């Protein structure tokens, strides 16, 4: 039995899915959080039922890539749970009627039921059930209210015989139903309305945006540095270093295994940036240098997502993003990119045209450094002074804008206008924020840690084999001639393909000047996507466009790096 | 009886309420290369201001006969934000410019 959760965007399908299956998935307060389907299982009677969280859709004719997924899924579902936002009955019921016309049994979950009360909306559920001819169950996905009821009524799902030949007739029917079941009572102006009004105003919105971005930045740094200073650094220094030193002695302070596991001793001790053994640098980079920033970034992002701020930022940024061939909604994938480029490129599916997706994905890969890379840049370049970190970010931002302007002039295709539902502000449900944070952080550890360790191992083996001298000599004309870097820098640049955080770590022993650090990290950020992003780009854009995007990246990185070398 | 007049969403003032009369089709042709100069207002067979975008406008409650209240518009030809029933919807300038509403003259 295959059950589909379907409904308009941002009605809480993913929250219901989490409740039904006990599997946590990412939920947010903006339309388009889910761009791909997720499958899970739950017990229905004696049977194990498969349930699919389908991306939100307004109609059953796909208008973007995420909606295409939804329409495709409908073809082989055995039952549809149509999730309806009870506070926007009219708009949601249009999709309900479309679903009822299909040959698949439907149950309606009247979600966000708790919100109807403080919005002064009264819905006659019994009457609605009677008019639709299928079970209607009030639910609150975030708290789990009504879930049991929903499950118990799944067997009552039915296919009512209804058909509306034209869109107008369907809307007329929707209006008729809403008129019969919904009544509105007076509602009070709340803090949310005040805040919503302020953020819709151009001046107020800009003020709030600056405030939010500044606060977010400050919070991310404060928490990230706090974890490093008070948790991870002391743990490594006081617990791990003595153990490693003992191991080093046991291995005879040298030899093959010593260089693989512990790496080079620097002044007789372990330098977590420079030693480059599996157990020293291999563990330190992901767990002590990067993880704290992953935690702080995703905590801040999770709160912004759940409050419902991001769509407002999209509206504010729309005019600017149009200049880059995009529209305001593209700011959401872009912000996700500051965490990891992989989900960011996936999220470009919320954009309607192929042209927009190509531009957005290319710009993200070029100008948006992921959290792991940023943590390492702040850690390494920051030692030389904050102004150098600012130079890296400044170069990336300027490149992002200029390349966007150029792509807008040159890429064929069309870019439609912004058309976006702005969800109400909500207090973030803290349990959801916590679970989402855990989901993302554990995902990082699971996916990044093995690759980092693998990369460190590869580095050690290639180093032993002398492959690196070869690479350095071949790349010397570009790396030394154009970028003004020592030819050995070619090695970390090449390793950036595997993991960019490891690559930055490899810059540490090269004793680069501040200027050289700025150039090498900027080029590292721009020139090539890491292998994970590479795969996703190929999947989302197709091989040809992925190669095109990669070409743009390499060209841009060389030009920007060359210019930095001339100017700085 | 108050005189009625027709405006587009971009011409409405913040706080004004009107009834949607029609959504105009884009009179232009497909803008491909150099769409940026037209603020990305290119049109394709599926999107642009063709049937697809009208369908989504409809789905978001912006269709003939519906009452909409303009909340605000962003500067420099930015999007228009509307209240439709209980929801807020942001419509890009180019598209908002093609949605015709009827408002009372007293407003």
- Report pLDDT for B2: 59
Per-residue pLDDT of chain A (568 residues; tens, 9 = 90+): 899 999 999 998 999 998 898 877 778 777 878 888 888 888 888 888 899 999 888 888 877 777 888 888 888 899 999 999 999 999 899 999 999 998 899 999 999 998 888 788 899 999 999 999 999 999 998 888 999 999 999 999 989 877 887 888 888 999 999 999 999 887 666 777 788 888 888 888 899 999 999 999 999 999 999 999 999 999 999 999 999 999 999 998 888 889 889 988 888 888 898 888 999 999 999 999 999 999 999 999 999 999 999 999 999 999 999 999 999 999 999 999 999 999 999 999 889 889 999 999 999 999 999 999 999 999 999 999 999 999 999 999 999 999 999 999 999 888 888 999 999 888 888 888 998 899 999 999 998 899 899 999 988 888 888 888 888 899 998 899 899 999 989 999 988 888 899 999 999 888 899 999 999 999 999 998 888 899 999 999 999 999 999 999 999 999 999 999 999 8
Provide the domain limits for residue A312.
203-416+429-567
Look at residue A196 and tell me if it is in a domain: no
pLDDT surpassing 60 at residue B39:
no
The Cα A460–Cα A253 span in angstroms is: 17
User: Does A404 lie in the same domain as A256?
Assistant: yes
Q: Residue B57's domain spans which residues?
A: 4-104
What is the count of structural domains for chain B? 1
| Phi, then psi, of B3 in degrees rounded to 5 | -75, 140
Residues A174 and A224 in one domain: no
B93 contacts chain A (CB < 8 A): yes
CB A508 within 8 A of CB A382: no
For residues A372 and B42, give the distance between their C-alpha atoms in angstroms, rounded to a whole number. 37
Q: What is the CATH number of the domain that holds B54?
A: 2.30.30.90
Q: Last residue of some domain: A149, A184, A219?
A: A184
Assess whether A176 and A217 both reside in one domain: no
Could you tell me if residue A350 is inside a domain?
yes
Specify whether the CB–CB gap between A29 and A314 falls below 8 A: no
- Interface membership of B88 toward A (CB under 8 Å): yes
Longest dimension (CA), chain B: 50
- CA distances in angstroms from A339 to A291, A302, A555, listed in the order given: 11, 11, 25
Same domain, A409 and A545: yes
The tokens describing A295, both together, are 């935690």
Contact assignment for B74 to A323 by CB distance below 8 Å: no
What was the pLDDT predicted at B31?
Answer: 40
Residue of B58, B81, B92 lying closest to A417 (CB–CB)? B92
Rounded to 5°, the CA angle A118-A183-A173 comes to 125
Total domain count, chain A: 2
Contact state of B74 with A416 under an 8 Å Cβ cutoff: no
- A347 and A479 in a single domain? The answer is yes
Query: How deeply is B52 buried, as exposed, middle or buried, from its count of CB atoms within 10 A (0-12, 13-18, 19+)?
Result: buried
- ipTM of this complex: 0.83
Selected for mutation to probe chain A from B34, B79, B81 (highest A CB count within 10 Å) is B79
pTM, whole model, 2 decimals? 0.88
Cβ-Cβ contacts under 8 Å, A420 against chain B: 79, 89-90
Tell me what pLDDT residue A162 has. Answer: 79
Name the packing angle between helices A125-132 and A167-181 (round to 10°).
150
Is A146 in the same domain as A240? no
Cβ-defined contact of A322 to B76 (cutoff 8 Å): no
- Chosen from A93, A322, A413 to mutate, greatest number of chain B CBs within 10 A: A322
Is residue A117 a part of any domain in this protein? yes
| C-beta of residue A5 within 8 angstroms of C-beta of residue A53 | yes
* pLDDT for the residue B38: 39
Both A178 and A293 in one domain: the answer is: no
Residues A319 and A277 occupy one common structural domain: yes
Q: State whether residue B44 sits within 8 Å of chain A by CB.
A: yes
Q: Which two tokens stand for residue A88?
A: 């926007």
Q: How confident is the model at residue B35 (pLDDT cuts 50, 70, 90)?
A: very low
Closest in B53, B78, B89 to A421, CB measured:
B89
Does residue A198 sit within a domain?
no
Would A190 be classed as within a structural domain?
no
Longest CA span, chain A: 84
């Amino acid at each position: 039995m295959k059950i589909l959760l379907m409904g308009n965007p941002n009605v809480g399908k993913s929250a219901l899915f989490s409740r039904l299956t006990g599997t946590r998935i990412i939920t947010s307060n903006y339309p388009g959080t889910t761009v791909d389907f997720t499958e899970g299982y739950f017990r229905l009677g004696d049977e194990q039922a498969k349930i699919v969280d389908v991306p939100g859709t307004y109609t059953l004719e796909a208008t973007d890539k995420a909606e295409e997924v939804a329409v495709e899924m409908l073809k082989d579902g055995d039952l549809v749970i149509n999730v309806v936002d009870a506070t926007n009955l009219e708009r949601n019921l249009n999709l309900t009627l479309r679903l009822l016309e299909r040959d698949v049994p439907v149950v309606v979950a009247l979600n966000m039921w708790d919100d109807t009360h403080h919005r002064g909306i009264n819905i006659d559920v019994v009457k609605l059930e009677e008019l639709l001819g299928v079970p209607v169950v009030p639910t609150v996905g975030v708290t789990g209210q009504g879930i049991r009821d929903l499950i118990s009524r799944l067997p009552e799902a039915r296919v009512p015989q209804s058909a509306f030949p034209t869109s107008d007739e369907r809307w007329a029917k929707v209006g008729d139903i809403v008129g019969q079941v919904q009544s509105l009572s007076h509602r009070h102006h709340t803090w949310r309305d005040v805040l919503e009004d302020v953020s819709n105003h151009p001046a107020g919105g800009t003020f709030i945006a600056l405030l939010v971005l500044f606060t977010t930045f400050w919070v991310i740094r404060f928490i990230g540095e706090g974890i490093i200073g008070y948790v991870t650094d002391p743990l490594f220094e006081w617990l791990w270093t003595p153990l490693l030193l003992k191991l080093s002695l046991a291995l005879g302070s040298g030899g093959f295994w010593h260089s693989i596991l512990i790496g080079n001793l620097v002044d007789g001790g372990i330098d977590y940036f420079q030693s480059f053994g599996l157990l020293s640098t291999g563990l330190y980079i992901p767990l002590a240098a990067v993880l704290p920033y992953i935690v702080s970034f995703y905590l801040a992002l999770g709160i912004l997502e759940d409050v419902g701020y991001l769509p407002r930022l999209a509206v504010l940024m729309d005019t600017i993003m149009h200049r880059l061939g995009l529209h305001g909604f593209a700011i959401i994938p872009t912000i996700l990119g500051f965490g990891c480029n992989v989900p960011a490129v996936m999220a470009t599916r919320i954009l309607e045209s192929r042209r927009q997706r190509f531009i957005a994905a290319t710009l993200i890969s070029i100008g948006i450094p992921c959290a792991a890379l940023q943590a390492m840049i702040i850690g390494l370049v920051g030692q030389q002074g904050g102004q150098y970190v600012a130079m890296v970010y400044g170069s990336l931002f300027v490149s992002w804008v200029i390349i966007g302007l150029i792509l807008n002039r040159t890429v064929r295709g069309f870019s439609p206008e912004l058309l976006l539902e702005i969800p109400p502000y909500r207090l973030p449900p803290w349990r959801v924020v916590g679970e989402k944070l855990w989901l993302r952080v554990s995902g990082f550890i699971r996916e990044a840690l093995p690759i980092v360790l693998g990369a460190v191992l590869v580095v050690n083996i290639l180093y032993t084999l002398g492959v690196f001298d070869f690479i350095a000599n071949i790349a010397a004309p570009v790396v030394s001639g154009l970028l003004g870097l020592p030819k050995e820098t070619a090695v970390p640049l090449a390793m950036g393909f595997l993991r960019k955080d490891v690559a930055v770590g490899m810059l540490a022993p090269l004793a680069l000047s501040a200027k050289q650090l700025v150039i090498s990290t900027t080029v590292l950020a721009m020139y090539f996507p890491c292998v994970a992003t590479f795969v996703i780009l190929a999947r989302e854009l197709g091989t040809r466009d992925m190669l095109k995007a990669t070409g743009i990246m390499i060209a841009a990185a060389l030009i920007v790096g060359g210019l930095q070398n001339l100017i700085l | 009886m108050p005189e009625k007049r027709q405006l587009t969403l971009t011409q409405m003032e913040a706080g004004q309420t009107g009834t949607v009369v029609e959504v105009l089709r884009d009179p232009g042709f497909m803008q491909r290369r150099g769409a940026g100069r037209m603020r990305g207002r290119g049109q394709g067979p599926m999107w642009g201001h063709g049937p697809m975008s009208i369908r989504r406008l409809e789905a978001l409650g912006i269709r003939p006969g519906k009452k909409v209240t303009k909340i605000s518009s962003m500067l420099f030809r930015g999007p228009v934000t509307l209240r439709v029933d209980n929801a807020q919807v942001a419509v890009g300038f180019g598209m908002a410019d093609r949605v015709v509403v009827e408002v009372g003259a007293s407003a």
